[in-house]
Amino acid sequence: MKRGSNRSIRLTLNAPVTLAFAALCLAALLLNVVTAGHSNSMFFITYHSSLKDPLTYLRFFTHVLGHGGWQHFMSNMTYLLLLGPILEEKYGPKVMLQIIVITALVTSITHYILFPKVGLCGASGVVFAFILLASFTSVKSGEIPVTFILVAVIFLGQQIWDGIFKSDDISNLTHILGGVVGSAVGFALAKKKRR
């Protein structure tokens, strides 16, 4: 063995917001398991509770951290950890945090108004925002990427279809709203880049 070829490999926190968000989601899930579902009801599910309750406003943001179980968590984290680092490298941690917060607020308020008898939790709205934003990563001045159109048709089209023809516990509207947030941020960032 040659001298000097013994290089060490080190771990890097390449996407702090994405990793922190994933860690918070995991912590919320573990807490929910330990409390037999009580922590989700109190902190990580948004539902039509009294506007006089301060926790209502907290849940408008924290519902994206809660998940109904391991499968729900794993499916969201797979996309989140795949797309988050790429997007965070391109747009920066501040933009990623803004997307998470805006998506949480838009999805929870819409859900609060339109579906008063149904609870909402999970990061899928954020994941869909990331999916649509990812299609903007190579945008040039004055162009709409074909990848954006295809992603919008495939992912959002499927959500619209499922929302109409399937009866399940998946909030298709949350996915659509997340996609709208990701698209809006993508267009806004592309417009800002042209200036």
For residue 12, the number of C-alpha atoms closer than 13 Å in the C-beta half-sphere is: 5
Q: Which residue has the tokens 């809660």?
A: 66
- For tokens 């941020």, the residue is 185
**Which residues are CB-neighbours of 112 under 8 A, at least 6 positions away?**
46, 47, 48, 60
| Residue-level pLDDT, tens digit, the chain, 195 residues | 455 556 788 888 889 999 999 999 999 999 999 999 999 999 999 999 999 999 999 999 999 999 999 999 999 999 999 999 999 999 999 999 999 999 999 999 999 998 888 899 999 999 999 988 888 776 665 677 787 788 778 877 887 777 676 665 557 778 888 888 988 888 787 777 665
Q: Taking the model in full, what pTM does it have?
A: 0.85
SS3 98: helix
The residue assigned the tokens 């849940």 is 59
Distance of alpha carbon 97 from the chain centroid:
10
User: Each residue of 174-191: pLDDT tens digit?
Assistant: 888 888 898 888 878 777
Contact status, residue 39 vs residue 32, Cβ threshold 8 Å = yes
